[in-house]
Structure 1
Amino acid sequence: MSGDGNQHGHTHRLDLDDASVREWDATVVGVDPERGIVLDRSAFYPGGGGQPPDQGVLLWGGVRTRIVGTVRGDDLYLVPHDGDPVPPVGTAVRGALDDERRTQLMRTHSGLHVLTGVVFRDFGALVTGGNMEPLSARMDFDLAEVPPDFKERVAEAVNAEIRTDRRITVSNLPREEAFAIPDIIRTATNLLPPDIEIVRIVDIAGLDTQADGGTHVASTAMIGQLEVVKMESKGKGFRRLRVRIT
């Protein structure tokens, strides 16, 4: 990706411009029978980094087409629900996200960034994997030794940071400038493709700065509360935390 970091193929990604966008006008610029619908502008988060894709609808000519996911390729292909009509190329549509799902995913994703920030700060551990659904998630850490009260200490520290109402901001930096930031990659393996020239940075003021492509709330207070439901040991140095957002 080069140039406009918020452009994927023919689609300008409104989700990266402003994560609060839920409805917008667009034009269909491509249709692939196998993959889906391409818009010139879209707020559908296509999935990635553990965050699943958005769902929603396209409204056109009195018709509703449900969108159940996204296929990434040279373009972002919105996947219509089986049996729903597909708008032809050139059609003006109104896009609308499932607001509850997106908002819950934003709260969850931001909560995970607070979690990784706290575990890195307090225990020096990097992330080895993770996945999320609305209001629930798992996060894996490279952590050889843990104190007996680790789960409780992490939950207490995370919720203290959430209550602090730290501002969450997003910026785009040239790759070289982004990698000059200490600990910008919080995963044990650098998953950032080498051809990415513009790096999207998510910053939780005073706590955590990471390269990240997902959607987030504007401040930690909007997350709610994070509960560490369970800690699992998956082998030497491999700890899995299962969390819930309430």
Structure 2
Amino acid sequence: MTERSHQDAIATDQLYLRDAYQRTMDAEVVAVDHDRVALDRTVFYATGGGQPHDTGILAADGATYSVTDVRKDGPFVWHTLEPRGEEEKAGSVDGPPVPTVGSAVTGTLDWDRRHALMRTHTMLHVMGGVVWNRWQVPATGGNMEPLAARMDFEFGPLPDGFRDELTDAVNAELAADRPIEVSFLDRSAADVDPALIRTKVNLIPTSVTRVRVVDIVGLDRQADGGTHVASTAEVGRFEITKTESKGKGNKRLRLKVL
């Protein structure tokens, strides 16, 4: 059974959309559902757009919990909690205890994991920008984990020398130390700029009224809801570990960040 509080009045403020480097937050529990809590604000990224959720610790009322999953459902970001230490012994057949509605909580990210995902996500945008600028080929899908990823592109046969050419070009862009800027546009303005959506299918829900734009200055400007580093040099180096054919007109690149 879900316990709710003033849900019609508020939604979770996703702090990471404005500052991906914020590692901690103070928040209030606004809803509880078994082992999940929704908060009025959070630094924990919710799974979406090919980027997996953050992990970390939530503390409340003298107890600490591991954040094991984060999902956005409607206006709220839900955090699945697992008690740590002595709190684990207090669990019952109905599930582990979690903070109650109205509780003040403090959250702390697993920063090493978050930063690795930021580097990986930025690498994918740099690579996507290079592929588009050189071959005008859109991405058809992708996924990532810390320091490793895959991305699919609408290629037929890959161009001769593609792997080496792409590797050299992406690493040159990373070394160029391009700044990365975040801004927000009204949906109406974003809809008239087709360059903001470079995936084969527009994945932005119709309910989104303000579109977040990630700009790798001078290279790539895309609508995106994920977390990124502040400059391309922070990524490191890029390597293609494997290329695969996933059907006619679809090639998969497996990648890692060094």
Q: Which range, TM-score by smaller chain? A: over 0.9
Structure with greater Cα Rg: 2
Displacement of 1:69 in angstroms is 0.9
1:158 paired residue number: 170
Aligned match for 1:123, one of 135, 144, 150 = 135
> 5+ residue gaps in structure 2?
1-8, 89-95
Could you tell me the TM-score, scaled by structure 2's length? 0.88
8 Å contact kept, 1:65–1:85 = no
Q: Partners of 1:10 and 1:163 in 2: how far apart?
A: 39
Residue 89 of structure 2 corresponds to residue 88 of structure 1: no
Q: Deviations over 1:61-110 (max 9, x none)?
A: 33111111123213211011275541111211110010000000000000
2:200 paired residue number: 188
Residue 155 of structure 2 corresponds to residue 143 of structure 1: yes
Return structure 1 stretches of 4+ with deviation > 6 angstroms.
Answer: none
Displacement of 1:32 in angstroms is 1.2
8 Å contact kept, 2:18–2:182 = no
Residue 242 of structure 2 corresponds to residue 230 of structure 1: yes
Q: Partners of 1:144 and 1:46 in 2: how far apart?
A: 34
Q: Partners of 2:158 and 2:82 in 1: how far apart?
A: 46
1:70 paired residue number: 70
Partner SS state of residue 183, structure 1: helix
Q: Deviations over 1:208-243 (max 9, x none)?
A: 011100000000001111111111111211110000
1:197 paired residue number: 209
Could you tell me the TM-score, scaled by structure 1's length? 0.92
8 Å contact kept, 2:26–2:105 = yes
Quick check: 130-139 or 186-195, which moved more?
186-195
8 Å contact kept, 2:53–2:71 = no
Q: Deviations over 1:134-154 (max 9, x none)?
A: 000000000123223111111
RMSD (CA atoms) = 1.6
Residue 54 of structure 2 corresponds to residue 54 of structure 1: yes
Q: Partners of 2:10 and 2:119 in 1: how far apart?
A: 28
8 Å contact kept, 2:10–2:40 = no
Letter in 1 for 2:106: R
Aligned match for 1:219, one of 202, 224, 231 = 231
State the identity %.
49
> 5+ residue gaps in structure 1?
1-7
Letter in 1 for 2:183: S
Residue 219 of structure 2 corresponds to residue 173 of structure 1: no
Q: Aligned pair count?
A: 238
8 Å contact kept, 1:168–1:205 = yes
